[in-house]
Structure 1
Amino acid sequence: MMLSRKITEWAQKHIQKSLSVNRVHCAIHKCRLKLCRAKNKPHVKMTHTHTGFRATYNPIQMMSFRKGLGYFSMPILNHIVHLIQQHGFVLQESGYAPVHPPVSETHPYDNQDPNNMPPDTGYGCKMVDGVVHYNIIITLLFRSGELDLPYPDLKEYIADMNVMMALIINGPVKSFCYRRLQYLSSKFQMHILLNEMKELAAQKKVPHRDFYNIRKVDTHIHASSCMNQKHLLRFIKRAMKKYPEEIVHIERGRGQTLKEVFESMNLTAFDLSVDTLDMHADRNTFHRFDKFNAKYNPIGESILREIFIKTDNHIEGKYFAHIIKEVMFDLEESKYQNSELRLSIYGRSRDEWDKLAQWAVKHSVYSDNVRWLVQVPRLFDVYHTKKQLANFQEMLENIFMPLFEVTINPRSHPELHLFLEHVVGFDSVDDESKPEHHIFNLDSPLPANWTEEDNPPYSYYLYYTYANMSVLNHLRRRRGFHTFVLRPHCGEAGPIHHLVSGFMLSENISHGLLLRKAPVLQYVYYLAQVGIAMSPLSNNSLFLSYHRNPLPEYLSRGLMVSLSTDDPLQFHFTKEPLMEEYSIATQVWKLSSCDMCELARNSVLMSGFSHKAKSYWLGPNYAKEGPESNDIRRTNVPDIRVAYRSETLTEELHLITHASTECCSTKS
Structure 2
Amino acid sequence: MDLSKDLSQVSIDQPEDKSFEHGDYAGELEDYDDALSHSTNFSYAEEKTINDQDAKMRAFEEIPLQRDSSKKTVKSRRSSSALFSHPPPPPVTKPKIAVSPKLVPKKPLKLSNSYKLGGRNEGVEEHDHETDDIPSPELVELYGHIKTCRELRKKYQTVSYQYPEQNPKNQDDWQIYPPPPRPTYDNKKILPESAQPDSKTFDISKCHIPPADETVAIGNNSDDVLQVIDSDGKPLATDIPTLRDYYMDMEKIISISSDGPAKSFAFRRLQYLEARWNLYYLLNEYEETSVSKKNPHRDFYNVRKVDTHVHHSACMNQKHLLRFIKHKIKNYPTEKVIFRDNKVLSLEEVFQSLNLTAYDLSIDTLDMHAHKDTFHRFDKFNLKYNPIGESRLREIFLKTDNYIQGRYLADITKEVFSDLENSKYQMCEYRISVYGRSINEWSKLAAWVIDNKLLSNNVRWLVQVPRLYDVYKKTGLVKSFHEIIRNLFQPLFEVSIDPSKDPKLFVFLQRVIGFDSVDDESKVDRRFFKKYPIPSLWDAPQNPPYSYYLYYLYANLANLNSYRVKRGFNTFVLRPHSGEAGDPEHLISAYLTSEGISHGILLRKIPFVQYLYYLDQVGVAMSPLSNNALFLTYDKNPFPYYFKRGLNVSLSTDDPLQFSYTREPLIEEYSVAAQIYKLPTLICVNWPRTPSFKVDGRDVSKSTGSDRIIQEEALRVMTWKRPTFLISELLIERRLYRQSTILSSTTLVCVLKVR
Shorter chain as denominator, the TM-score bin is 0.7 to 0.9
The whole-number CA distance in structure 1 between the counterparts of 2:206 and 2:470 is 38
Matched, 1:444 2:532: yes
* Partner deviation per Cα, 1:387-428 (whole Å, 9 max, x = no partner): 100000100000000111111111111111111111111000
Q: How does 1:91-490 map to 2 (within 5 A)?
A: 105-107=197-199, 110-113=202-205, 116-122=208-214, 123-128=216-221, 129-137=223-231, 145-148=234-237, 150-438=239-527, 443-490=531-578
Q: How does 1:495-514 map to 2 (within 5 A)?
A: 495-514=583-602
- Counterpart secondary structure, 1:632: coil
Residue number among 652, 659, 666 corresponding to 1:571 in the alignment: 659
- Counterpart secondary structure, 2:482: helix
Q: Structure 1 stretch 652-661 or stretch 481-490: which is displaced more?
A: 652-661
The whole-number CA distance in structure 1 between the counterparts of 2:144 and 2:249 is 9
Q: Kindly indicate whether the alpha-carbon contact (under 8 Å) linking 1:439 and 1:457 is maintained by their aligned counterparts in 2.
A: no
> CA 1:646 to 1:115, structure 2 compared with 1: closer, same or farther past 3 Å?
closer
- Counterpart secondary structure, 1:151: coil
- Counterpart secondary structure, 1:341: strand
One-letter code aligned to 1:619 = I
> CA 1:501 to 1:107, structure 2 compared with 1: closer, same or farther past 3 Å?
same
- Counterpart secondary structure, 1:349: coil
Q: Kindly indicate whether the alpha-carbon contact (under 8 Å) linking 2:140 and 2:753 is maintained by their aligned counterparts in 1.
A: no
One-letter code aligned to 1:261 = V
Per the alignment, residue 710 of structure 2 pairs with 619
Per the alignment, residue 30 of structure 1 pairs with none
One-letter code aligned to 2:156 = Y
> CA 1:101 to 1:450, structure 2 compared with 1: closer, same or farther past 3 Å?
farther
Matched, 1:609 2:696: yes
Structure 1 vs Structure 2 CA RMSD = 2.9
The whole-number CA distance in structure 1 between the counterparts of 2:229 and 2:206 is 24
Determine which structure has greater relative contact order: mean sequence separation of CA pairs < 8 Å that are 6+ residues apart, divided by chain length.
1
The whole-number CA distance in structure 2 between the counterparts of 1:464 and 1:45 is 29
The whole-number CA distance in structure 1 between the counterparts of 2:228 and 2:712 is 38
For residue 432 of structure 1, report the CA deviation from its aligned partner. Answer: 0.2
For residue 360 of structure 1, report the CA deviation from its aligned partner. Answer: 0.6
Q: Percent identity?
A: 48
Q: Kindly indicate whether the alpha-carbon contact (under 8 Å) linking 2:459 and 2:695 is maintained by their aligned counterparts in 1.
A: no
Q: Kindly indicate whether the alpha-carbon contact (under 8 Å) linking 1:427 and 1:487 is maintained by their aligned counterparts in 2.
A: yes
* Partner deviation per Cα, 1:159-210 (whole Å, 9 max, x = no partner): 1100000011111111111111111111111001101111222222111000
For residue 496 of structure 1, report the CA deviation from its aligned partner. Answer: 1.0
The whole-number CA distance in structure 2 between the counterparts of 1:256 and 1:621 is 51
Q: Kindly indicate whether the alpha-carbon contact (under 8 Å) linking 2:429 and 2:461 is maintained by their aligned counterparts in 1.
A: yes
Gaps of 5+ in 2: 1-103, 110-135, 167-179, 185-195
- Counterpart secondary structure, 1:248: strand
For residue 580 of structure 1, report the CA deviation from its aligned partner. Answer: 0.3
* Partner deviation per Cα, 1:504-555 (whole Å, 9 max, x = no partner): 1111100000001111011110000001000000000000000000000000
The whole-number CA distance in structure 2 between the counterparts of 1:164 and 1:404 is 32
How high is the TM-score relative to the length of structure 2? 0.74
One-letter code aligned to 2:596 = N
One-letter code aligned to 1:474 = S
The whole-number CA distance in structure 1 between the counterparts of 2:621 and 2:202 is 33
Per the alignment, residue 515 of structure 1 pairs with 603
Q: Kindly indicate whether the alpha-carbon contact (under 8 Å) linking 1:279 and 1:297 is maintained by their aligned counterparts in 2.
A: yes
- Counterpart secondary structure, 2:571: coil
Matched, 1:653 2:742: no
For residue 251 of structure 1, report the CA deviation from its aligned partner. Answer: 1.2
> CA 1:580 to 1:45, structure 2 compared with 1: closer, same or farther past 3 Å?
closer
For residue 260 of structure 1, report the CA deviation from its aligned partner. Answer: 0.3
Q: Which has the larger radius of gyration?
A: 2
For residue 112 of structure 1, report the CA deviation from its aligned partner. Answer: 2.6
For residue 110 of structure 1, report the CA deviation from its aligned partner. Answer: 3.1
Q: How does 1:8-157 map to 2 (within 5 A)?
A: 49-64=148-163, 105-107=197-199, 110-113=202-205, 116-122=208-214, 123-128=216-221, 129-137=223-231, 145-148=234-237, 150-157=239-246
The whole-number CA distance in structure 1 between the counterparts of 2:201 and 2:670 is 34
Q: How does 1:525-604 map to 2 (within 5 A)?
A: 525-603=613-691
The whole-number CA distance in structure 1 between the counterparts of 2:219 and 2:527 is 27
Aligned residues: 594
Q: Kindly indicate whether the alpha-carbon contact (under 8 Å) linking 2:640 and 2:677 is maintained by their aligned counterparts in 1.
A: yes
- Counterpart secondary structure, 1:435: coil
One-letter code aligned to 1:303 = R
The whole-number CA distance in structure 1 between the counterparts of 2:698 and 2:283 is 35
The whole-number CA distance in structure 1 between the counterparts of 2:734 and 2:148 is 28
For residue 52 of structure 1, report the CA deviation from its aligned partner. Answer: 1.6
Q: Kindly indicate whether the alpha-carbon contact (under 8 Å) linking 1:248 and 1:257 is maintained by their aligned counterparts in 2.
A: yes
The whole-number CA distance in structure 2 between the counterparts of 1:438 and 1:628 is 45
One-letter code aligned to 1:331 = L
The whole-number CA distance in structure 2 between the counterparts of 1:210 and 1:639 is 15
For residue 253 of structure 1, report the CA deviation from its aligned partner. Answer: 2.3
Q: Kindly indicate whether the alpha-carbon contact (under 8 Å) linking 2:306 and 2:695 is maintained by their aligned counterparts in 1.
A: no
> CA 1:646 to 1:261, structure 2 compared with 1: closer, same or farther past 3 Å?
same
> CA 1:14 to 1:446, structure 2 compared with 1: closer, same or farther past 3 Å?
farther
Q: Kindly indicate whether the alpha-carbon contact (under 8 Å) linking 1:131 and 1:464 is maintained by their aligned counterparts in 2.
A: yes
Gaps of 5+ in 1: 1-12, 19-33, 68-98, 138-142
For residue 35 of structure 1, report the CA deviation from its aligned partner. Answer: 6.0
* Partner deviation per Cα, 1:582-629 (whole Å, 9 max, x = no partner): 0000000011222111101125x4224234535867725646854752
The whole-number CA distance in structure 1 between the counterparts of 2:218 and 2:106 is 43
The whole-number CA distance in structure 1 between the counterparts of 2:586 and 2:577 is 9
For residue 272 of structure 1, report the CA deviation from its aligned partner. Answer: 0.3
Q: Kindly indicate whether the alpha-carbon contact (under 8 Å) linking 1:114 and 1:411 is maintained by their aligned counterparts in 2.
A: no
> CA 1:59 to 1:108, structure 2 compared with 1: closer, same or farther past 3 Å?
farther
The whole-number CA distance in structure 2 between the counterparts of 1:126 and 1:241 is 53
> CA 1:378 to 1:632, structure 2 compared with 1: closer, same or farther past 3 Å?
same
Per the alignment, residue 21 of structure 1 pairs with none
The whole-number CA distance in structure 1 between the counterparts of 2:206 and 2:331 is 36
- Counterpart secondary structure, 1:375: strand
For residue 64 of structure 1, report the CA deviation from its aligned partner. Answer: 1.6
For residue 158 of structure 1, report the CA deviation from its aligned partner. Answer: 1.2
For residue 16 of structure 1, report the CA deviation from its aligned partner. Answer: 8.5
The whole-number CA distance in structure 1 between the counterparts of 2:263 and 2:540 is 37
Question: Per residue, is there more helix in 1 or in 2?
Answer: 1
The whole-number CA distance in structure 1 between the counterparts of 2:632 and 2:538 is 34
